Structure 1
Amino acid sequence: MSNKCLLIVAHVPSPNTQQLCNAVAQGARHEDISGIDLVVRTPFEAGPEDVLAADAIILGTTENLGYMSGALKDFFDRIYYPCLEKKQGLPYGLYIRAGHDGTGTRRAVETIITGLRWKAVQEEPLICRGAYDEAFLNQCEELGLLMAAGLEAGVF
């Protein structure tokens, strides 16, 4: 049986957001998880071929003026039509680094994902609100572990 592919597409414009992405990847690479190929890309690097090869995806974005990062929006613009019919039901997780409340960012991402017909694996996205907190790292690591474990177990 071949490995399943977990794709992380995260906007990392600062050392703190890079740490969050690294924590998600660390969770996905947990020593108890096997059979998962992890691919980590920025929204600028990722393209339709990455999404088409993925069995699940984790999206990471900053809150920019109450919206997702322009980089993530650009990623969606480039992958939307090439992936629309081929990746319906793709399991996804979402984390947002929000200086405020993240509500507009969440709504913007979920609107596009609704169109893509991807399936959320969390009831609520992970929103890392307010001033940077080291606790965000554990939350991000848990998200990566959840996604990888669920993918490994065939839950999604």
Structure 2
Amino acid sequence: MKRLLIVAHSPSVNTQALCRAVHHGAEHEDIEAVECIVKTPFEAGPADILACDGIVLGTTENLGYMSGALKDFFDRSYYSVLEEKQGLPCALYIRAGHDGTGTQRAVESIITGLRWRWVQDPLIFRGEWQEAFTRQAEELGMIMAAGLDNGLF
């Protein structure tokens, strides 16, 4: 059994919907051998990363940067997992009120240092809320879980 960890900062109704959509996609009925764990950045830590086979990160764009919650998660976990989790398959989604590029760069620099492996380009949900965002988030969860289930990641 593989384990997919979703670490998402979800302070609003819309960001909660994105996290639920990723989780729902990861638990698609055709995915058989993947357990999905959802935690906030404040709940998750190094032990969760060490126990997972893939990770999806979710954050809001705060002043052109990742949420303080996700930054705290990285601060508490970075050195504890640096050597043991190189190559960890990862994905990122950002709920951006503006363009999300500063947030993306900040997370990418940490992921580069950790030597985790991107499964796909980060999803940036920009501007006004759109229902299509939840569909894309669900697809992200499904891609991650299906890849783990089929041994692709």
- TM-score range (shorter-chain normalised) is over 0.9
Aligned counterpart, 1:24:
22
SS of the residue 1:51 aligns to: helix
**1:63-118 alpha-carbon deviations (Å, 9 max, x no partner):** 00000000000000000000000000000010000011100000000000100000
Looking at structure 2, the residues matched to 44 and 134 of structure 1 have their Cα atoms a distance apart, in angstroms, of 27
SS of aligned partner of 2:73? helix
1:132 is aligned to: 129
Q: Structure 1: which 4+ aligned runs deviate by more than 3 Å?
A: none
| Aligned positions of 1:2-21 closer than 5 A | 3-21=1-19
Name the structure 1 match of 2:70: 72
* Number of the residue aligned with 1:115: 113
SS in 1 for 2:95: strand
Compute the TM-score of the two structures, normalised by the length of structure 1.
0.97
TM-score, with structure 2 as normaliser: 0.99
Shift, 1:49, TM fit? 0.4
Counterpart residue number, 2:84:
86
Superposed CA deviations along residues 39-65 of structure 1, whole A, max 9, x for unmatched, are 000000001000000000000000000
One of 146, 151, 155 as aligned partner of 2:152: 155
Rounded to whole Å, the distance in 2 between the matches of 1:112 and 1:58 is 14
Corresponding letter in the other structure for 1:89? G
Q: Is there any run of 5+ residues in structure 2 with no aligned partner, and where?
A: none
Query: Who is 2:61 aligned against?
Result: 63
Structure 1: which amino acid aligns with 2:42?
F
User: Cα RMSD between the aligned structures?
Assistant: 0.4
User: d(CA) in 1 for partners of 2:95 and 2:119?
Assistant: 19
Q: CA deviation at 1:133?
A: 0.8
Aligned residues: 153
Sequence identity (%): 71
| 1:117 counterpart letter in structure 2 | R
CA distance in 1, matches of 2:110, 2:144: 20
